[in-house]
Copies of this chain bind each other. A is one copy, B any other.
Amino acid sequence: MLKYILLGMLNYMPMTGYALKRQLDGSTAYFWHAYHSQIYTTLRKLEEQGLLESELEDGEDHLNRRVYTITETGKAALRGWLDKPLTDLAPAKEPLLVRLFFSGQRDKAAVLDELRLQRTLREQKLALFQQMKTMYDDNPPSEKHAPGEIDLARERVFWMATLRMGEMTMAMYVAWLDETIEKIEGLEG
């Protein structure tokens, strides 16, 4: 999956591995997280496969900045992947729910502490998403796009949809935690 995220990002513009890491942390990390170690190795692999090309940027500073550019083959691979729709649900992986499922024999106070901490974390994320949405709304890309160029106004609709999902997910999670905390508080012991 990371493969296509990298191709997708480099389809907007050439970038270094480091820039990609920062870019991902500020956008796709909310629905697909990756470590820098995996990013660098995947970039090398994609270059070997001919989907990317790289150049050591020898500017004034002599930092070893390797800039990756997507190739035509890479663009085709990205398009090919996007053209094959998802036909099933992604298998869920929710550590907190695993823990809660088996928490019947745990100390009630400990469970509540854990849930309340999670509530705080989710609420922080919720605030972050709301802030990001506002930032986006305040900076609309008013430029008209040239033919052949990427239509940023259109892209924004899709990016905003993922942000909105983040917002809704966190709000739902907080609501569920409130409900669950209340139910567990009602238990004896």
Give the B-binding residues of A (Cβ under 8 A): 1, 4-5, 8, 11, 27-33, 78, 82-83, 85-106, 110, 113-114, 117-118, 121-122, 125, 150-151, 154-155, 157-159, 161-162, 164-165, 168-169, 172, 175-176, 179-180, 183-184, 187, 189
Contacts and interface: CB of A to CB of B under 8 A. Distances in A.
Contact of A96 (B86, B98, B189): B86
B101 A162 contact: yes
A104 B155 contact: yes
Number of copies: 2
7 contacts: A5-B102, A83-B110, A85-B110, A104-B157, A161-B180, A164-B179, A172-B172
A34 to B, nearest CB: 9
